[in-house]
Every structure is written in C-alpha cells, then in structure tokens.
Structure 1
Amino acid sequence: MESGADARNDRRTAEEKAIDDWLPVTSSRNAKWWYSAFHNVTAMVGAGVLSLPYALSQLGWGFGITVLVLSWVITLYTLWQMVEMHEMVPGKRFDRYHELGQHAFGEKLGLFVVVPQQLIVEVGTCIVYMVTGGKSLQKFQQSICPDCKPLRTTYFILIFASVHFVLAHLPNFNSISGVSLAAAIMSLSYSTIAWVASWKRGAHDDVDYSPRSKTSVGQMFGMFSALGDVAFAYAGHNVVLEIQATIPSTPEKPSKGPMWLGCVVAYIIVAICYFPVAIIGFYVFGNTVDDNILITLEHPPWLIASANMFVIIHVIGGYQIFSMPVYDMIETFLVKSVKLKPSGVLRFTVRTLFVVITTFIAITFPFFGGLLGFFGGFALAPTTYYLPCIIWLIVRKPKRWSITWCINWICIVIGVLIMILAPIGGLRSIIRSAGSYKFYS
C-alpha cells in the first residue's frame, strides 16, 4: 500500500501500477523504523560474524582490529549515503540498487555496473547460508546426540533447504517481517553465546597468536581471504534501498528519517555482536580457531546445540532477506520485458527454481571459509565499500579536495584493494578445501 504522498506523486500508468503492486519490493509501503532495524540486523549479522575470530587469526591483533573498526566506520558511512540518495530526486524513489545506479551511470551502463554485482552478492549469500544452515544442523545433531550415526552434510543441507521451499512463496518484504525479527533476535543470541562461552572457557597457557600459516606465501593468501571474511560481514547494503522502499514517505516526513534511525540501531547491535565475538574468540583460541567459531566450541554441549539452532533460525531469515530482491529482479524482467502475466504460477516457478539452484550449488561446494572470502571480496566490497561513494561523487559532485571528496576517495581505494585481494585468498582456500574434501560426504 502507498502513502498519500506516494499516491499524489504517482506518474505511472494503470498497468505499471498493477505490476508494481504485485512485485515484492514495491507492493507494500507501510513499514516502521523498527522494521528497518531488524531487517538490517538480519541482513548484516549473519554467517560472517562466526568467521571473525578466524579472520583475526589471519590478520593478527593490530591489523585485524584496525580492519574491523575501519570496516564498521566505512560501511556505516556508505549506508548513510544510500539512505540519503533514496529520494534525492523530488517525486521519485530509487527503490532498487540498480535504479540508483541507472540514475548515476545511465540506463544501460547502470544495469551493467550494478545488477551483476548485486546478483553475485545476493545469490552468493544465499548459497553460503545454505552451507551454514546445513552445517549448523549437523553440529546441532552431533551436540545433542554424540553417539548417533553421523549423516552426510548433504542431507543436512537438504533438510535446511526444505524450509525455503515454503517460505520462498511469501509475497514481499513486509510478509517476512516476523521471520526477520526472529532472525535478528537469534543473531544477537548466538553471538552472545559465542563470546560468553569462549570467555568462560578461558585462554589456555599455550595459546598461540602467531600467523596460522608458517610460510610467507600462506600468510599472504590468508590475509587476503580474511579481508573477504570481514567484507562478507557487512552485506546489508545490497538490500538497503529495497528495505527503505517499504517505508512510507511524505515531503514533510521522508523515508530517510525512520530508515536512518533503524540503521543506527542496527549498527549498534552489529558492534555488540561483532567486536566481542572477534576479539574474545581469537584471544581464547588463537590460531587454532575454526572458520566457524561454534565448531571450535564443544562445551557445554547443550549451550553449543542451542547456539547452532539459533544460527539455523537466523540464516533462515537471512536467506529470505537476500533472496527477496533476486525474486524481484527475475519477476520484474519476466513481467516487464518478457511480458508474462503476473500470476501465482509464475511466482511459484521462479522461486522454487531459485531454491533448487542454490541448494544444488551449496551441496556441490560446501566450503564455508573459502566461500566467505571469495564472495566477500569479489562482489561485497564493490557494492558495500565503494560503489555508493562513486555514485555520491557523480550525483552530489563535492568540491575537489574537500573533506567529503577525500573521504569518498579513501573509501574507494580501500574497497578496490579488498575487491582485488580477497577473492585471490578465497579462491585458494576453496581449491585447497576441494582437494581434501570427499564430495557428498
């Protein structure tokens, strides 16, 4: 449903309005600021937080904490930019990331620049969440029944995927609000369990904080992959405009007010989750920590089982948050370009096929750490760290060498470095994991 101002400024034809009322991103505009908060927490705090102690073990204390803090500051700044640019043209809302890109780069170039990267992020995140959900289910079973016959990881991924064959058919963002709220609460819960359980365990006398690899080449690639792990932990930008599109807006009360309030609350929660998990996890386990800290933790079994169940609930919501814009892109293309009729059959087919594809890829490449590093650097760094800055420079045109101009270029340089280096480390990790992994095991 639209707000009064949205309706008054509506310049669409009846057919365009009917299509937009059917598409998942634009079909409902009655969200509140707290929707923004828990949607952003669900999108941000996900599988990435569990790998942060591992990332610190690759980066070391000084450089690792510097990277964590800089990433938090830079991504909060670029998130603010996107919220501000959502309605920078009077009477128009950029409801999707690619629409903002088209405004900055042109109709065709904007699609070429934004859509491939956004799709890689969203589809890649869904694949990682399939792997995370399946492995967390496996860890849950091992925790509550250590003497039970072990099952293949493949089976647990399939069990996790079965939930999405149902939830995928919820029509729009607001319809998944309950799932997203539960996921946000779970993310805070399992993050707290991770660092509290680590702290209670305490660091052993022989804990080692030296680099994980003993060779210079291994250390270099490990650092590259860790940069991608950190980048993956800040993935919310890829859905922020779509989330803001669900908030009503008037000239007197634009959507950026409640949206930004929700983002600030979300980022406070992000800090509460990320920094204790990363620092305490590395402090306790040193360079022996796994790429998922909940796998490293073994005791008490009931608490670790609970944490893994919380992860499962969270990544269910995270999968829905990141898949919804993909559904929107595909359904938009089919009804606007291919001219198919909007229908339940079309929606059922598109979404079921998407779940099937992401499940198949997750079963084929269940390498949690390598996937984080690869996807984190290859696509998340551009869409999170520097693409908003480039768009800002193009549309806002700050004075050369002004503070704003310099800040944006610093973010761009850092983002480009992560984009170049992180996929190299992530790809190496995937290849090494594949070499020692028994497929479908």
Structure 2
Amino acid sequence: MVITRALMEGEIDDDGRAKRTGNSLTATTHIITVVIGAGVLALAYAMAQLGWIAGIATMLAFAVISTFTYNLVADCYRFPDPVTGKRNYTYMQAVKAYLGGTMYVFCGLVQYTKLAGITVGYTITSATSLVAIKKAICFHREGQQAYCKFSNNPFMIGFGILQIFLSQIPNFHELTWLSTIAAITSFGYAFIASGLSLSIIVSGKGQPTSITGTSIGPELSAEDKVWRVFSSLGNIALAANYSTVIFDIMDTLKSDPPENKQMKKANVMGVTAMTILFLLCSGFGYAAFGDHTPGNILTGFYEPFWLVALGNTFVVIHMIGAYQVMAQPFYRIVEMGANMVWPESDFINKEYPTKVGNIRMNFNLFRLVWRTIFVILSTMLAMAMPFFNEILSLLGAIGFWPLVVFFPIQMHITQRQIKKRTLKWCMFQLLSFVCFLVTVTAIAGSVHGISQDLHKYKLFRYRQ
C-alpha cells in the first residue's frame, strides 16, 4: 500500500526503487567521462602506426560500429519489451534474459575482468601524467640536457590511497558530481594536447608524416611494424568503449521518455563528441611528432611547462573520477553476490549512518575491507607492469568484440526473432566475425608488446 501510494506520488519508479532523474544530457556526461579518458592520450601514437588513411578510417569505423551496437543495447535495458518490460540493471542480467545462463557466465567473466583491469590502466595513466608534470618542471629549471627520470611508484601509491577513500562512495547514482568534473577536465587536457601539437605544426617544426604511418627502416623492422599496428587497434578500441558501464548509465535515466530513446540520443551525442576529439588529438599529434610520436601524447611536451603541467593535472583529475565510474559496477556485483550468499551477516549487510561535517553517508564494514583490498591489489599490479600503451591496448582488445559487438547483436537477433540464414542475420554475423578478427589481432599485438617490455625492465623499477 505504501509502495503504491509512493508510486502514484512519483517518489519511486515502477520497480520500487528511488525515482530516477537522469536524462540524455547526464547520460552523455557519463559516456564522455568514460570514453574521453586514458585511451585518448594513446591515439596519436596509434595514428602514427596506422598512417593517415587507415588511422582516420579505423577511428570512424569504430565510431559507427559503436553507435550502432550501443543503440541495440539500449533496446535491451528492458525485457522483453524495450519500453514496458522488466528492467535489466546490469549487462549480465540483460544477457541472461535474452541469451541464457551460459552466455551470462561468459559475459560476466569478460565484463568484470575488464572493469578490474581498467582500474589498473587508470592508475598507470595517472602516474604517467604526474611524472610528466615533474619532468616538465625539471627540464624547465635544469635545462633540456638534465637527467629527469623518475619512478612511477610513489605516484601510484598516492593515487591508490585516494581511491581507497573515494571507493567508500556507496553506489553509482552518487557519482554524478564526480563524473561531471571528470568530463570537464577530459575536454581540458584533450584540447591542451591538440593545441600544443597545433602550435608545433603552425611554427613549422612538425615532423614528416605518411599515409602508411611509421617508416620501416633501421629503427623499425617490418615485423615490429605489424605488431605495432595490431596493438594500435586495441588502443582505438579502448578509447571508443563504454560497454562495461552502459547499463549502469541507463539505470540512472528517468522512465519518461522511454530509457532506450534517451540512451540512443546520448549514444549519438557522446560518440560524436568522442570522435571529434579523437581525430583532433590523434591528427595534430601525429603531424607534430611524425614517426617519433610518443605513446602518451602529453609526455612529448615540456614547454610551456605550466600548460603541460595543467594538461597533465586535468588528466589526473579525470582519472580520479573515471576510476570510480568504472570500479563501482565491479564493486556492486561483488557486494550483491556476498549479500546473496550471507544475507544474515551484519559484517556484510549492516549500514552505520555517519556524518563528516555536513556530509552524511552510510559506513559498511565489508565495503571498507574488500574495496580497500581491491584498490591495493590493482595498484600493485600497475606498479609491476606500468606499460601505458600495451596495457591500454590489451584492455581495449579484451572487451571490444564480446561486449561491443557480439552480445548486442545476439540479443538483438533474439529480441527481434531474426531467422537464421536470412540476409539480415548473415550481415550481423559478418560484422561480428570481422570485429572478432580485429580483437584477436589487437590482443596478439598487446601481449607481444608487454612481453618485450618485461624483458627490458625489472618489476617495480620502471622509470620514465
């Protein structure tokens, strides 16, 4: 009776949960926070390996495919009807509803492995940017010939300590403020990187480029060129990917107009903004540095040192927010599982209301312990393998085909009851197969790059 009255008064939604208030604009903000992140810094390097024609074509292709398949996902938020059906709160629930238990398990393994891995990537990115700030200041004070190499480890530890505190935020719905700040800073460093690259081009100091990318010669064998191209596909795949949190984003949307319509609009706005920034950063970066384009474009600049420092500061601020946007779904699935296994445990389920200044929040012992352990482990893994491009490429490759292409297509086929071996079915399967090949080649290139790096550097002793 109380629920019925609250539903009539608009206090709760049709599923008995608190009224959702998100819209296309807030969903776009979440999308931008996720996609315009660590991956954008590696795109100039990817463009340098692929060249102008393949580089631009690949980024546009990823954008078109992503928009198409994410719109398919938007129709799967509710089951069986995309407007009036029962809500799927997670990607895994949607896969289970449409495709069954086996696919449900496969989806969970891929999705949450990637979510956990991305926190490692963001830790590496933040430390890389903090070291870049220190190097810019060092070169400004001591001159370009000075020895300015520093360990990433202290910065990773500091970043991890901060994430331990932020990880106590109970759920995704309380992240809008953090996501908004992160989205604003993402535009900041993307435009700074583009602007610094453009200033080099305008000054006439830009390096030679090619329609086929980096030149094969004494510094680069044909074999290494191929491996770099493969790895670059993973970098672009990561930059264009927000599949791991798309259902969490949709679960913030109000139900009128229908969530799928709002999300489709957000997909178009988010991917369009993403693609424009990607092309600016990658194109200007490649034109500025040519064959010697750095893996992280901002690390290639040292002057004006204050602007370089500001750009890298924006990166760190963004990584702080994006880390939580990506980690919260992973936290939630573990805590939901623990609640189902031990429903009577006070350690796992009891909330203790606390107040810090004017801020009220709930304190939970299990959340404190397990999230702290997770952040510590992800930080240690980042310290052990702080290889920016290769780790990001591997993360992008792992999730691209299954989460961005395969599951959306299979759910759509089931939802619309598309018959096998019809033209439409064959076209969907062809798209899925081509994207599978892209994923396999990107994984191979990433693993090869990590293997080479591990032979060059000792664990926990990497300096840049």
CA distance in 1, matches of 2:74, 2:406: 15
Q: Deviation string for 1:167-198 (max 9, x for gaps)?
A: 11111222111110011111111111111110
Q: What does residue 39 of structure 1 align with?
A: 30
Larger mean CA deviation between 256-265 and 402-411 belongs to: 402-411
Cα offset, 1:35, TM superposition? 1.8
CA distance in 2, matches of 1:259, 1:440: 42
Q: What does residue 233 of structure 1 align with?
A: 239
Q: Deviation string for 1:266-314 (max 9, x for gaps)?
A: 2222122111111121122112011110111222211111110000011
In the superposition, relative to structure 1, how do residues 8 and 364 fare at CA in structure 2: closer, same or farther (>3 Å)?
Answer: closer
CA distance in 2, matches of 1:6, 1:350: 33
CA distance in 1, matches of 2:269, 2:51: 29
Q: 1:262-341 to 2 correspondence within 5 Å? A: 262-339=266-343, 340=345, 341=348
> Which of these residues, 107, 111, 114, is aligned with residue 107 of structure 2?
114
CA distance in 1, matches of 2:385, 2:448: 14
Aligned: 1:134 with 2:154? no
CA distance in 1, matches of 2:269, 2:247: 17
Q: Deviation string for 1:65-88 (max 9, x for gaps)?
A: 111110000001111111111124
Q: What does residue 104 of structure 1 align with?
A: 98
The structure number with the bigger radius of gyration is 2
Aligned: 1:387 with 2:407? yes
CA distance in 1, matches of 2:131, 2:437: 36
Cα offset, 1:235, TM superposition? 2.1
Q: What does residue 224 of structure 2 align with?
A: 218
Q: What does residue 415 of structure 1 align with?
A: 435
Q: What does residue 20 of structure 2 align with?
A: 29
Q: Deviation string for 1:306-342 (max 9, x for gaps)?
A: 1100000111111011101101110011001343442
Checking the alignment, whether the CA contact within 8 Å between 1:37 and 1:263 is kept in structure 2 is: yes
Q: What does residue 252 of structure 2 align with?
A: 246
Cα offset, 1:7, TM superposition? 5.5
In the superposition, relative to structure 1, how do residues 407 and 6 fare at CA in structure 2: closer, same or farther (>3 Å)?
Answer: farther
Q: Deviation string for 1:363-387 (max 9, x for gaps)?
A: 1110111112212112233212332
Checking the alignment, whether the CA contact within 8 Å between 1:389 and 1:411 is kept in structure 2 is: no
Q: What does residue 77 of structure 1 align with?
A: 68
List structure 1 segments (4+ residues) > 6 angstroms apart after TM superposition: none
SS at match of 2:170: coil
Q: What does residue 207 of structure 1 align with?
A: 208
AA at the equivalent of 1:183 = A
The number of residue pairs the alignment matches comes to 424
Cα offset, 1:398, TM superposition? 2.8
Q: What does residue 39 of structure 2 align with?
A: 48
Checking the alignment, whether the CA contact within 8 Å between 2:135 and 2:302 is kept in structure 1 is: no
In the superposition, relative to structure 1, how do residues 413 and 289 fare at CA in structure 2: closer, same or farther (>3 Å)?
Answer: same
CA distance in 1, matches of 2:72, 2:384: 38
In the superposition, relative to structure 1, how do residues 351 and 206 fare at CA in structure 2: closer, same or farther (>3 Å)?
Answer: closer
Q: What does residue 342 of structure 1 align with?
A: 349
CA distance in 1, matches of 2:310, 2:422: 50
SS at match of 2:258: coil
SS at match of 2:63: helix
Checking the alignment, whether the CA contact within 8 Å between 1:331 and 1:350 is kept in structure 2 is: no
Checking the alignment, whether the CA contact within 8 Å between 1:57 and 1:212 is kept in structure 2 is: no
CA distance in 2, matches of 1:42, 1:276: 18
CA distance in 2, matches of 1:387, 1:230: 20
> Which of these residues, 261, 268, 271, is aligned with residue 265 of structure 2?
261
AA at the equivalent of 1:270 = M
Q: 1:155-234 to 2 correspondence within 5 Å? A: 155-202=154-201, 204=205, 207-209=208-210, 210-211=213-214, 214-234=220-240
Checking the alignment, whether the CA contact within 8 Å between 2:111 and 2:403 is kept in structure 1 is: yes
Aligned: 1:86 with 2:77? yes
Q: What does residue 416 of structure 2 align with?
A: 396
Cα offset, 1:404, TM superposition? 4.7
Q: Which sections of structure 2, spanning at least 5 residues, go unmatched? A: 143-147, 351-363
SS at match of 2:75: helix
In the superposition, relative to structure 1, how do residues 194 and 8 fare at CA in structure 2: closer, same or farther (>3 Å)?
Answer: closer
CA distance in 1, matches of 2:168, 2:19: 16
Cα offset, 1:400, TM superposition? 5.5
Q: Deviation string for 1:202-260 (max 9, x for gaps)?
A: 1646525343553221122111111111111122111011111122225xx32223333
CA distance in 2, matches of 1:288, 1:236: 30
Cα offset, 1:427, TM superposition? 0.7
Q: CA RMSD, aligned part only?
A: 2.4
Aligned identity (percent) is: 26
Larger mean CA deviation between 337-346 and 122-131 belongs to: 337-346
Q: What does residue 455 of structure 2 align with?
A: 435
Q: Deviation string for 1:117-165 (max 9, x for gaps)?
A: 0012211111100000111111112223445886421001111122211
Cα offset, 1:43, TM superposition? 1.1
In the superposition, relative to structure 1, how do residues 278 and 206 fare at CA in structure 2: closer, same or farther (>3 Å)?
Answer: closer
AA at the equivalent of 1:342 = N
Cα offset, 1:440, TM superposition? 2.4
Q: What does residue 361 of structure 2 align with?
A: none
Checking the alignment, whether the CA contact within 8 Å between 1:180 and 1:321 is kept in structure 2 is: yes
In the superposition, relative to structure 1, how do residues 345 and 383 fare at CA in structure 2: closer, same or farther (>3 Å)?
Answer: same
In the superposition, relative to structure 1, how do residues 401 and 309 fare at CA in structure 2: closer, same or farther (>3 Å)?
Answer: same
Q: Which sections of structure 1, spanning at least 5 residues, go unmatched? A: 11-16, 22-26
Larger mean CA deviation between 176-185 and 370-379 belongs to: 370-379
Checking the alignment, whether the CA contact within 8 Å between 2:42 and 2:297 is kept in structure 1 is: yes
> Which of these residues, 52, 59, 62, is aligned with residue 61 of structure 1?
52
TM-score, normalising length: structure 1: 0.90
Checking the alignment, whether the CA contact within 8 Å between 1:190 and 1:308 is kept in structure 2 is: yes
Checking the alignment, whether the CA contact within 8 Å between 1:103 and 1:110 is kept in structure 2 is: no
